[in-house]
Amino acid sequence: MFSLVPAQAQAQRTAYTIELNDDTINPVTAEYIAGSIEKAYQDNAVCLIIKLDTPGGLLNSTRLIVKKMLTSPVPVVVYIAPSGSHAGSAGVFITYASHVAAMAPSTNIGAAHPVQMGGEKPGKKSSEWGELRELIKELKGDQKVTPTDKKDSTKNDKTAKEEIVPDEDPMGSKILQDTAAFIRAIATKKKRNAEWAVESVTKSLSITDQEALAQGVVEIVAVDEQNLLEQLDGRTVEVAGKMVTLQTKGALIEHIAMDARQQFFNVLANPNIAYILMILGFYGLLYEITHPGFGVPGVLGGIFMVLAFYSMQTLPTNYAGLALLIFGLVLLITEAFTPAFGLLALGGVVCLALGSMLLFESADPIMRVSKAAVLATSLTTAGITLFLLRSVLRAHRSKVLGGKEGLIGAVGTAETPLAPRRPGQVFVHGETWNAQSDEEINKGEEVVVLEILGLTLKVKQK
């Protein structure tokens, strides 16, 4: 018997899912999301579900993700889950850029202040802010404004301007206005609550799942992924300029995990990890410098340093902070060679602490080195550096105890009488040596070695 149902309908529908579990928004997670969107499209998945739990991240990575989602050829659903999760800072922009936004019970969303998204300043990376403004223009250009919408838009723009309190720093105020315009453009395009979106930027507001549903921030509150698919079924969304009706009921859920490379570099995109790797690299190189030979500590130190510099490349690194760190280490090394009575060591510890706190430019704690790590690492580094270097200097300044040089100043015993013109023998360091002296020395008297003349020792009476 032949089925009259089309072959495509007989095929099992699949919904792909990816997960950001307390991960920051960084170049690695941006690559992960963009690659997953492409895979979902190529495999003809009914949708891609992004399970989101993020404290925030970098503005440039957020912009790349938003742009990829807005132009996605496959429906993208952002699901803030599981319970207890939070979509903060960059997570708000990603949620608003989705075709359908959903939350699990006991979750929250908000606090999208622009400085919490990496702290980039236009003067530092002006090209990124230029691209952001171009993206805003594109979003506004795509929106068709009806007479009613135009009236509301005028009102909204006025409200937005009133909500944006001028910053004492003109540059900070400009960033705030650009970011507010960005979130408003996304909200208007996706027909979500634009007023709350602006307030999440200007006032760092945060709301619960039920409040988000009531205020039109999200469309669905679902207890789990299966429940989400059931509520998604039959919804019509605009995908790449076409209206698409979702058919998700009964679809298989297939998870797309980060590959090993992405997992590894995602860990490195953590400010605390980057900082610790740099300090460990310094420890390894310091040990190698202060000890002869070339071994494991030096190799590991070099590897840690390379990994640390890679991490800093993906993070909003402040090079003034990095310079302070290096200067602090130089002061600690100088202290070991200079009798500065601890002043250089104190300055080194202060530079280490200040450099550590300034190393990454961000007002968001998740994108900065924790204060506990700064304090512990600064004191530990100071202690280890001074201990190793002072040990090396002490070893260099101590008397040589081996070889011929070790005999000079050694005390022995005359085994025969010695006189200016009558050489004899002495017992030094467990050996009997030929010896001569400029004074008379009786047998059995203690002598001190003055000089080594070939295989003969020149001695004097102790």
Which domains does the chain carry? Answer: 11-260 (3.90.226.10), 270-397 (no CATH), 404-461 (2.40.50.140)
Q: What is the pLDDT of residue 219?
A: 96
Q: Determine the Cα–Cα distance for residues 182 and 93; give it in Å rounded to an integer.
A: 9
pLDDT tens figures, 37-52: 999 999 999 999 999 9
Q: Determine the Cα–Cα distance for residues 200 and 256; give it in Å rounded to an integer.
A: 31
Q: What is the mean pLDDT of residues 101-111?
A: 94
Which residues sit opposite 103 in a β-bridge? 80, 221
pLDDT tens figures, 411-428: 899 999 998 888 999 998
Q: In what order do the strands lie in the sheet containing 108-110? A: 86-88, 108-110, 206-208
Q: Determine the Cα–Cα distance for residues 440 and 192; give it in Å rounded to an integer.
A: 108
Q: What is the pLDDT of residue 178?
A: 79
Burial 16-38 (b: 16+ CB within 10 A, else e): bbbbbeebbbbbbbbbbbbbbbe
Least confident of 25-39, 287-301, 381-395: 381-395
Of 56-65, 87-96, 287-296, give the range with the top mean pLDDT: 87-96
Q: What is the pLDDT of residue 226?
A: 94
Q: Which two tokens stand for residue 397?
A: 């300044």
Q: Determine the Cα–Cα distance for residues 397 and 339; give it in Å rounded to an integer.
A: 15
Contact at 8 Å (CB) between 129 and 175?
yes
Instruction: Evaluate if residue 155 carries a pLDDT over 70.
Output: no
Of 180-184, 287-291, 319-323, 392-396, give the range with the top mean pLDDT: 180-184
Q: Determine how β-strand 252-255 pairs with β-strand 14-21.
A: parallel
For residue 158, give the 3-state DSSP assignment.
helix
CB atoms within 10 A of CB 98: 27
Q: What is the mean pLDDT of residues 258-275?
A: 88
Contact at 8 Å (CB) between 328 and 348?
yes
Q: What is the pLDDT of residue 122?
A: 40
Q: Determine the Cα–Cα distance for residues 185 and 187; give it in Å rounded to an integer.
A: 5
Q: Determine the Cα–Cα distance for residues 49 and 33; give it in Å rounded to an integer.
A: 10
What band does 152 get if pLDDT is binned at 50, 70 and 90? very low
For residue 192, give the 3-state DSSP assignment.
coil
Statement: the pTM of the whole predicted model exceeds 0.85: no
Q: Which two tokens stand for residue 213?
A: 């549903």
What band does 89 get if pLDDT is binned at 50, 70 and 90? confident
Q: What is the pLDDT of residue 126?
A: 43
What band does 57 get if pLDDT is binned at 50, 70 and 90? confident
What band does 451 get if pLDDT is binned at 50, 70 and 90? confident
> For tokens 């998945």, what's the residue?
45
> What average pLDDT does the structure give for the chain?
79
Q: What is the pLDDT of residue 295?
A: 74
Contact at 8 Å (CB) between 108 and 81?
no
CB atoms within 10 A of CB 41: 16
